[in-house]
Structure 1
Amino acid sequence: MSARRLWTLVGVLLTPAVVLPLWVGLYDRQDPELGGFPFFYWFQFALILVAVALTFPAYLLARQADRLDRVRHGLTPEADDPDGR
């Protein structure tokens, strides 16, 4: 898969994690309650889990895309560590 496609996939994966919390009308209500918590609160916790579930694969794909971009530009696949580690 090309780096461009990987970066596009990273953007697609991260979009819900950014857009859903900004879409206040989606969760600006009290019902239904879950375990005594209004919808607003438990939906926010669910969004955290969704964001984590989407961010980790996006991170892995971004690392791969970065490696492909570095090789394409004639650099080493891994970035040099300035501390020499």
Structure 2
Amino acid sequence: MTDAPDRPNGGSSRGLWILIYCLLVPAVVVPLLVPLYDKAGPTLFGFPFYYWFQFALIIGAAILTLSAYVVSTKADARERAARLERRDRR
């Protein structure tokens, strides 16, 4: 007999939480890498690279954060189902 608990709904949510962290890390780390975008060229509609790249980072971070939120709702639902199943077994 194993000590591992049964995993409802296809497994634990640990993998989903790892995915959430992987989605959020670039949104935090890339803006901190200033040498990556500390230059004037190429320009886009007359804006130097430094400015339009920061706007692109905002949009990218918003998309990554939204994706992490959607995944977190699925992870939370899995955890709730597991808690309910454990409670019902008692």
Which TM-score bucket, shorter chain as reference?
0.7 to 0.9
| Equivalent residues, number | 75
Give 2:77's aligned residue: 67
For structure 1, the 5+ residue unaligned runs are 76-85
Deviating beyond 4 angstroms after TM superposition, the runs of 4 or more aligned structure 1 residues are: none
Give the alignment of 1:38-49 within 5 angstroms: 38-49=48-59
Higher RCO structure, 1 or 2 (CA under 8 Å, sep 6+): 2
TM-score by length of 2: 0.75
**Richer in helix (by share):** 2
Larger Rg: 2
CA RMSD of aligned residues (A): 1.5
For structure 2, the 5+ residue unaligned runs are 1-10, 86-90
In structure 2, what is the Cα distance between the partners aligned to 1:70 and 1:23? 38
In structure 1, what is the Cα distance between the partners aligned to 2:50 and 2:12? 40
TM-score by length of 1: 0.79
In structure 1, what is the Cα distance between the partners aligned to 2:17 and 2:61? 17
